[in-house]
Amino acid sequence: MNPGTPNLAAPAAPPADLAARLKALADPARLAIVAFLREPQADCCSRGDGVCGCDLEGVLELSQPTVSHHMKVLVEAGLVHAERRGRWVYYELDTSALEALSEDLRRLGHVAPVLSRPTDRPGSTGKG
């Protein structure tokens, strides 16, 4: 079932996946993960180019399956990249994706510099 864009073409409707990306971050645990990915304090096997999952468990005080679940959510939202190296999986923050999300939020607050300005609205001659 693809609802598609509804009958009204919103002037500058938020991206369809914006809610999903926000939801991926709207959790204290995942927020803590992102904050840690930004400035990892190497503990067992993390390096400059990534943080391994085992380090996250210790920092977050969460079980391994829970951490794995949260990482999956973040990766599927495109906010974090995962790369397997041997036994470990190294996670890296996608700063550009985060910046894009920030920008989408900023656009929500301002009247968007509409990309293709149509003629103009047919006037709200509706019932007053």
Partner DNA sequence: TCCATCTATTGACGAACATCGATACGTCGA
Partner DNA sequence: TCGACGTATCGATGTTCGTCAATAGATGGA
* Residue ranges in contact with a copy of itself by CB under 8 A: 6, 8, 10-14, 18-19, 22-23, 25-28, 31-32, 34-36, 38-39, 41-48, 59, 61, 93, 95-96, 98-99, 101-103, 105-106, 108-112, 121, 124, 126-128
Residue 70 interacting entry, from a copy of itself, DNA, none, C-beta within 5 to 8 Å by type: DNA
- Show the tokens assigned to 6: 């509804």
DSSP state of 54: H
Can residue 100 be called a binding residue for DNA (CB under 7 A)?
A: no
Can residue 47 be called a binding residue for DNA (CB under 7 A)?
A: no
- How many CB atoms are located within 10 Å of the residue 35 CB? 11
Partnered with residue 81 across adjacent β-strands are: 92
- Show the tokens assigned to 45: 């096997």
State the Cα–Cα distance between residues 94 and 51, nearest whole angstrom.
13
Residue 17 interacting entry, from a copy of itself, DNA, none, C-beta within 5 to 8 Å by type: none
